[in-house]
Amino acid sequence: MLNDKPWRIDWVLRLLMGILACLALSILIVQGYRSLLDPAAGSPPLWVTLTGTLTSQGIGFLLIDIFLRKHEVTWSEAFGLKSPNSGRALLLALVVGMFVVPISWSLTKLSILIFEWLHISPKLQDSVQALQMADTTTQRVYFAVVAILIAPIFEELVFRGILYPTLKRYGSMRLGLWGSSIFFGMIHMSATAFVPLTLLAVVMCLLYETTGTIVAPIVTHAFFNAANYTYLILSKS
């Protein structure tokens, strides 16, 4: 089970504001290059995308480290990295991932059908658009590393590792579960993906609560992203 976390709400708010500022700066870097320097290009050069990733998630990891130092806890203590039940947690995470992926795909298709019925053309996630425009093997490998390795680790640390226990501690488990999950769905800025991503977030909160280690939701998240990445690559070819 998940232990109570000593996260101070003022430092949580500072961390979230810092991460959102880095994310906004990252978007400005990538979109600024497209619109100002090379508006005719489909996909920006790899160094531009890499700069955006380092600005958002690279600095984000440093902010998390500062956050933990302020609370005088180690990464292992904060996120249950040395859980004695890590083997069972990993197995459970993989099983959950295999169930979540087809459900998520079904919900996405249902969302698309509803929007089409309403004559609305929702915008795809920026990450999906970027992958669709990737025209070199190097770019595809880069997006695979970000989607399957970096993003799951970073997002789970923030949403499940920090935000969920904070809302749970200062409110209730229901607030932590749904508050962090809805925010997770909203931050990806995709109407068709909102419901499946919110559901995924709920499942990963429960997985973290059950296993007590952040590794479990990271593995499920990575499995989910890997399945979606593979689907997009195969559908593009």
133 located within any domain:
yes
Report which of residues 46 and 129 the model is more confident about: 46
Q: Note the pLDDT tens digit of each residue in 164-187.
A: 999 999 999 999 999 999 999 999
Joined tokens for residue 160:
């499940």
4 located within any domain:
no
Compute CA distances 156 → 40, 161, 232, whole Å.
36, 6, 23
Report which of residues 140 and 186 the model is more confident about: 186
How far is residue 165's CA from residue 209's CA, in Å, rounded to a whole number?
Answer: 9
Percent of the chain with pLDDT over 90: 65
Place of tokens 């488990």: 173
How far is residue 56's CA from residue 44's CA, in Å, rounded to a whole number?
Answer: 17
27 located within any domain:
yes
Most confidently predicted of 25-34, 79-88, 94-103, 132-141: 94-103
2 located within any domain:
no
200 located within any domain:
yes
Where does the pLDDT of residue 86 fall: very low under 50, low under 70, confident under 90, or very high at 90 and above?
confident
1 located within any domain:
no
* Total domains, the chain: 1
Residue 219 has pLDDT above 80, yes or no: yes
162 located within any domain:
yes
Compute CA distances 132 → 188, 198, 210, 233, whole Å.
17, 23, 36, 8
219 located within any domain:
yes
Range of the domain at 66: 9-236
